[in-house]
Chain A
Amino acid sequence: VTVAGAEEATTGTSTKRRSRARWIAGFVLVAVAALVVVLAMRPAADSETPASPLVGRPAPEVRGTALDGRSVDLAAMRGRWVVVNFFATWGVPCRQEHPELKAYTEAHTGPQSPAVIAIAYDENDIASARSFFAQNGGSWPVVPDAGGHAAVDYGVRGLPESYVVDPAGNIAAHVTGKVTAAAIEAITGNAP
């Protein structure tokens, strides 16, 4: 062992250490950059409406007596497209979508045509719903939701929300907010 040899060995070791440190620093830098990019590209949690896990699954039961006395049973409507619409008359978008639902039901009047069932979420809003339909028209049944059971059963997060049920009884689509006749037609494939 000589001084020169020792110096060479020392220099070699420190070069290796430096190289390793550079590699580690580079790896950490790349990992942090990747994390920043992923977080930056992710939409803010509040701006996201999570997709309903019920889409593609059998629609939960809707059964009851409508405000006009009709019996309503979603299970008995197999073979038809059905729009299950959750609403309350105090919601502005709920009032705004009413003409759209009215236009949709007026365009589909056959016995096997697509139908709409409205669910009045707020039990304290029933009288108001009755007078709202009397004033604005609308022939589809309005079923009161006792205790909000149906709303929770469908995973409703806000009003209005609509679930389009296919003829097999599965939920084909979930529409949050104001629904339009055109959107329903697009989902049902313009079913007659």
Chain B
Amino acid sequence: VIRRTVWLASIAVLVGALAFGGWPRHDAPRTPAQRVEHLATIVRCPTCSGVSVAQSEAPLARSARQEMERQVAAGRSDQDIEDYFIARYGDDALLTPRRGGAVRVAWVLPIGVAAVAVGVVVVGTRRWRRGDPGAGEADVADVRLVEEALEVRR
């Protein structure tokens, strides 16, 4: 019983962690400076490769940061500002693609596959421990078959 509980708890933690990672979060920072900082970490530096605006000192990254400050001060939402950069730099304007559509599938699919795999392992292990119930009890025909085989050997 304890083992089963441990197994179930582990599966629940795994699935929960993956689902939490794949679900959109609404914990947007509140102060303007924190919002700019947050946006700078998710928007890709326009002129560099694979780094965020926050990580870059390139002139265009500084300009992008100033644009974020300007738009935050103008009262635009984070979503609006992300849309602004996507409209100008394309879908790869953000370092992490938006969680929706194909991206949601990319998160959910492995969770489903992992759950099925864990289920298969658990069921297989149980069967193996109990003995394969598919084999069942030997019926009369099976017993006769074994006896015939033994006689042939003799």
Contacts and interface: CB of A to CB of B under 8 A. Distances in A.
Nearest to A154: B88
Interface string B118-154: 0000000000000000000000011011001100100
Interface residues of B, number: 24
Contacts of B47: 157-158
Contacts of A52: 88, 90
Interface residues of A, number: 24
Interface string B46-79: 1101000000000110111011001000000000
B106 to A, nearest CB: 15
Given A148-B63, A149-B67, A155 B88 contact: yes
B63 A147 contact: yes
Main secondary structure of the interface of A (DSSP, over half): loop
B64 A54 contact: no
Interface string A148-192: 110111111110000000000000000000000000000000000
Interface of A: 1-3, 6, 45-46, 50-54, 121-122, 147-149, 151-158
Interface of B: 46-47, 49, 59-60, 62-64, 66-67, 70, 86-90, 92, 141-142, 144-145, 148-149, 152
